[in-house]
Chain A
């Protein structure tokens, strides 16, 4: 027995030395096979146990187990030291080239600035309780003009150069009356009132509109957002509050609004609405900082966006004309309301700094990819 115990002790000692000097995982694996493998040294010692008397076996078995545990622990410890060294070496290596571009399978998509602006505007009015309504773009003269208090032969028709539709191409199903491309989103006011039938009416209508005018600053197609609020006791003060809230939400806190009397046949009283210039903050001048100059800039230059007035004209608005309420089926003696309209291209221009109307419809990817 003493012989076997001596062998085990020698095995443990040999393992301690050998494991301590093992240089890599491969050497560790070889040592595991040498000491603990089926044909290894421990197995060989244990085979000798058969010759021992029965009462001595537990004692040798106990030592053998202890030696096995020790060798396993030695191997595990060595493995974890080796792993740690390897990891350290890996972490200490030179960094990869992080400036290589990221790997892209698909390009990024882009949403058109007109859609973006429309969505932003709609979202603001949705928070104020406005529902999105829509109406035809190929529209009857009655909805586009007459119902909006613009009778035939009325000079206000000059304000909107109109595209008319060739009746013969409309088919037999078309209703009677002159047919045109809507010149504004306002006919949706009438259609929405007729559809809803009773107050409250709070709608906005974003959409395409058309005027036969095509040059640097006019596009034959452009986009408007129309708004309408009708109910009992609606006042001009409500219109002011609503548009002031909208202007702050769209152009930023601190934006001021200014109402000027103006004329749109379908409102009375009517107004044009200016907001304080978002570029120069309403001062009309933009500070110019000289190179390397600190502190307050001494010089300013003219703000081209508001032409130095500090104000931007962005909306038309007013109290719904009694005849328009009547044409929508609402009693103007009982109900009142306000309406407003804005050009989406202009709203997007101010938000994104776009300086040429034509860019919107050329669909040049070098433009679209900026959004």
Chain B
């Protein structure tokens, strides 16, 4: 909400905040007056409002730096000889001689008075005005738009001033342009503060003052309004009150300067005197109003009803909207003429020829307005306030204020009386406050007198009290207060949180236990980081096509979980694997010339939940990694072979080892992996733990990656199930070991794992390590030589060479018989 400090100061005395006296004045500052004391209070007002919960996000001083800008009359205007879009004007700036100014705007007429920035002026935006030659024509200053003067965002043309202003008058003085605009963040629970009077009420409460409400001078004449229009509410649950006044004999025209500028300063465009009057009353009192051309209201009858099936309406923005029975309409005898509380309709709009105006002031139920506003994508000043909750007590005062303004600005007379349909009168709620409650919630005692003073200052009326507590009537504008806790908040908000001490809770504490999955995650992180991986954090949503290669062929769900309203197709479905995100990361990094990539991520993946699950989706942890590039960092002392399957396997093995999981590796991972260069990882009882390997060449291509990218993924749930986080001590061997090497030649298809398993079958083998794999002469083609180091040991005696030789011979026999191995060397 944008607030003009000068405007605010009409309802509350800000002088005490600036250290000077300040006079309040009625509407329309006819003659300029000094704004200095008000403006000096700006920072203090901002601070105090922030302290009571209305955060002032910006304090903007306007109308300063306009020293060289004067009112100037346009005497003549001709086309620029050399430029299609420019004009050459003659200007009376009160200096005797007319000035020649080149100008690009088109919205003026000869005779208009406009602002002229004279040579030597520096405008608020920093532009310095110099004598210039524009396309060969000399120009002695610049005619300005409101934006160029920093007065509003309006840059559509020159700011047209009152023709009565004498040329040469400095406009900052003449127009009282100096002001401070406060950008106030009003939270959704406080619609009552979405106006100057609303915030003035808060400031008055802070200062212990009474807010000065405007007192409209309403002069009624003619036949009663009730004879001119009838009002009927067919949907009282959506419209608790509809009140109307009729103003006759108006003349539609532009608003006076001061009014237009006020609206524009608050971000509202000036349209015409009648429409501006409704907007002025809105910004002043916070209550949305609407003006209809009464002569376009068929049957001179207003019907507040829900839309009929198939009904349509063209709103003021020119769009035709198909309505639903939940939409509330302001209709006449024949058809809808406004979306109630949201936007007017084109048919009954105020136009240049309007002479009879019907002014609407109503109270609409918030939830209905919100649904309509959202359904039609229409967010207006009116809907914004109604959906948060308008003040039922403001319906009539706002109507009177607006009608009086219209009569004042557009001429005409207000017909006597209000046509008021009021099926559901507002019941101000009463809330009981127990005296001890503030202390219970806040931890400080607040004296009863102070409670009463604070609540009275905010408009709460004490209705009854006893030793235990008191009951307070909630003012009509405070739609947010209904509970005892709400009153406590009012008290502490006013006192300030600084009054509360700092203590620590004295309640009992459960000993925090680290959940198993958190421990597994922590161990896995350490293992992967020790293996040189950097952690990535990716969005949980990805492009659906990225997940296709990772689909589980056994899964029943055809699609991943999808968003109804994704940011884009690339962020549209919840990922079922972390791998695609990591592949994108690898690709991005390589494009940035980072060639060596080792990334991991630990996060949830999302699948449809089984029936009866407590949550809408099954969310399980996954651990995934990608690696590509060199095995070791480039250096002077080592090689830089590219990583291969066994580097990826080492990383997975490091994680499993850190978790105490024994794993088995079975050739061929999922469809996303190279069928020859990948494995499935199996845990106890061959439970699947995950997959590891080189990307399938087609998948690599889809992710714009070269061949030779390795990746893995492990199921978090399976890791948690299999983890043995507490190691078991198994004793240190007391007798010496016997070491023997063994070299065997086996067929290419025999896996090292099978050879090692056969070796380990021998009971005296304590451990066996594969230390070399060799292919090539003199080994025949299609075979390979495996070299193993075997450690024999008996737990209860020193092994003799004879025993070790015998064991070794048994192994050789087993390898020969079972795997067709031949002993070598």
Contact = CB atoms under 8 A, between A and B. Distances in A.
Interface in A100-148: 100-101, 103-112, 114-115, 126, 128-132, 134-140
B2 interface: no
B615 A139 contact: yes
A158 B504 contact: no
A163 B539 CA distance: 13
A203 to B, nearest CB: 9
Interface string B434-453: 00000011111000000000
Contacts of B366: 153, 155
B189 A156 contact: yes
A164 interface: yes
Interface string B490-516: 001100011011111111111011110
A166 B512 contact: no
A270 B489 contact: yes
B182 interface: no
B530 A169 contact: no
Contact of A237 (B501, B588, B617): B501
B589 A364 contact: yes
What size tier do the contact residues of chain A reach? 35 or more
Contacts of A200: 507-510
A173 B573 CA distance: 18
Interface in B336-385: 366-367, 370-371
Which of A129, A269, A319, A322 has the most C-beta atoms of chain B within 10 angstroms of its own C-beta? A269
Interface in B426-485: 440-444, 483, 485
Interface in A267-282: 268-272
A166 B563 contact: yes
Contacts of B604: 137, 208
Contacts of B599: 363, 365, 368
A110 B529 contact: yes
Contact of B187 (A236, A242, A263): A263
A165 B532 contact: no
B518 A132 contact: yes
Interface stretch (B69-77, B233-241, B590-598, B660-668): B590-598
Which of B190, B493, B573, B612 has the largest count of A CB atoms less than 10 A from its CB?
Answer: B493
Nearest to B502: A241
Contacts of A172: 611
Interface string A266-302: 0011111000000000000000000000000000000
B507 A233 contact: yes
A366 B507 contact: no
A105 B346 CA distance: 75
B221 to A, nearest CB: 41
B367 A235 contact: no
Nearest to B367: A153
B769 interface: no
A160 to B, nearest CB: 11
Dominant SS among interface residues on chain B:
loop
A235 B563 contact: no
B675 to A, nearest CB: 29
Interface residues of B, number: 103
B407 interface: no
A157 B592 CA distance: 40
Contacts, number: 303
A251 interface: no
A128 B510 CA distance: 11
B567 interface: yes
Contact of B534 (A173, A244, A365): A365
Contact of B188 (A103, A139, A263): A263
B588 A364 contact: yes
A173 B562 CA distance: 16
* Centre residue among A106, A139, A214, A270 by max chain B CB count within 10 A: A106
Contacts of B55: 260, 262, 272
Contact of A260 (B51, B440, B633): B51
In this complex, which of A111, A139, A244 has the most chain B Cβ atoms within 10 angstroms of its Cβ? A111
Of the listed residues A107, A244, A272, the one surrounded by the most CB atoms of chain B closer than 10 A to its CB is A107
Most buried by B among A111, A153, A229, A361: A153
Interface in B694-748: none
A58 B701 CA distance: 94
Given A132-B518, A363-B536, A138 B574 contact: yes
A69 B543 CA distance: 88
A236 to B, nearest CB: 5
Nearest to B188: A155
Interface stretch (A5-13, A47-55, A77-85, A174-182): A174-182
A292 B525 CA distance: 46
A229 B507 CA distance: 9
Contact of A321 (B485, B532, B563): B485
B105 interface: no
B530 A269 contact: no
A232 interface: yes
A138 B617 contact: yes
A164 to B, nearest CB: 4
Contact of A132 (B514, B562, B616, B637): B514
Nearest to B564: A164
B209 interface: no
Interface string A334-346: 0010000000000
A100 B617 CA distance: 54
Contact of A155 (B387, B609, B632): B387
Given A166-B564, A361-B538, A366 B608 contact: no
B759 to A, nearest CB: 28
B489 A268 contact: yes
Interface stretch (B5-13, B267-275, B308-316, B553-561): B553-561
A245 B506 CA distance: 15
Q: Which 4 A-B pairs have the closest CB atoms?
A: A109-B529, A171-B608, A231-B507, A237-B443
Given A139-B616, A169-B573, A244-B502, 5 more contacts: A107-B532, A107-B596, A109-B531, A110-B534, A235-B503
Interface of A: 100-101, 103-112, 114-115, 126, 128-132, 134-140, 152-156, 158-159, 163-166, 169-175, 179, 181, 199-200, 202, 208, 210, 212, 214, 220-221, 229-238, 240-242, 244-245, 258-263, 265, 268-272, 319, 321-322, 336, 360-366, 368-369
22 contacts: A104-B638, A107-B596, A108-B532, A132-B512, A138-B615, A165-B561, A165-B562, A175-B613, A212-B565, A236-B442, A240-B497, A241-B502, A241-B505, A259-B498, A260-B55, A261-B53, A261-B493, A322-B483, A360-B537, A365-B597, A366-B592, A368-B535
